[in-house]
Chains A and B, each alone.
Chain A
Amino acid sequence: MWTINRYPGFWLLPALLPVILLTVYPIGHALWTSLHEVMILFPGEPFVGLKNYERVLSGNYFSVALRNSLVFTAVSAPLAVLLGTLIALFLQRRFFGSQVVRSVVLLPWVLPGAISAVLWVWMFHPSFGFLNGLMLDLGLIESPIGWLTNPRTALGAVIVAHVWTQIPFVVVLMMAALSSINGETLEAAAIDCRSPLKRFRYVVFPEIKSMLVVLLVYNALTAFTSYDIVYAMTGGGPGTATTLLSFQIWRESFSMYDFGAGSAVAFIVVVISALLIVAITKALPSDLFAGD
Chain B
Amino acid sequence: MAGRLHPLATFIFAGLILLFSGGPVLLSLYGSLVPDRVLLSPDQSLWTQGPSFESYRYIFTGQLPDSYNAEGANRAMISDAARQVPRALLNSSINALAAMVLNIILGAPAAFIFARYVFPGKKLSFLYLILSPLVPAVALVTPIYMLLQSLNLVGSALGIILIHTAKALPFTVLILSVFFRKIPAEIFEAAVLDHCNRFQTFWRVAVPLALPSIGATGLFAFMLSYSEFLFAMILSGSSDTRPVSVVMAALARNTDVSWSLLNTAIFIAIVPTLALVILVWRFVVEGLLSGAVKG
Contact = CB atoms under 8 A, between A and B. Distances in A.
Nearest to B107: A15
Give chain A's interface residue range (CB within 8 Å of chain B): 35 or more
A120 B24 contact: yes
B289 interface: yes
Interface in A1-51: 1-8, 10-12, 14-16, 18-23, 25-27, 29-30, 33
Given A107-B274, A113-B245, A14 B109 contact: yes
Given A18-B166, A190-B2, A227-B138, A232 B119 contact: no
A12 B110 contact: yes
Contact of A106 (B143, B245, B277): B277
A114 B139 contact: no
Contacts of B116: 1-2
A149 B44 CA distance: 27
Contacts of A56: none
Contacts of A210: 295
Contacts of B141: 249-250, 253, 266
A104 B24 CA distance: 12
Main secondary structure of the interface of A (DSSP, over half): helix
Interface string B12-23: 011001101111
B27 interface: yes
A164 interface: yes
B140 A231 contact: no
| Top 3 closest pairs, chain A to chain B, by CB | A177-B295, A225-B136, A29-B143
Interface of B: 1-3, 5, 7, 10, 13-14, 17-18, 20-25, 27-28, 31, 39-40, 105-107, 109-113, 115-123, 125-129, 131-132, 134-144, 146-147, 162-163, 165-167, 169-170, 172-173, 181, 185, 223, 226-230, 234, 244-246, 248-249, 251-253, 259, 262-263, 266, 269-270, 273-274, 276-278, 280-281, 285, 288-291, 293-295
Interface of A: 1-8, 10-12, 14-16, 18-23, 25-27, 29-30, 33, 87, 89-93, 95, 97-98, 100-123, 127-128, 130, 164, 167-168, 172-173, 175-180, 186-187, 189-190, 196, 199, 207-208, 210-211, 218, 221, 224-225, 227-228, 231-233, 235, 246, 249-250, 253-254, 259, 262-263, 266-267, 269-270, 273, 276-277, 280-281, 285, 287-289, 291-292
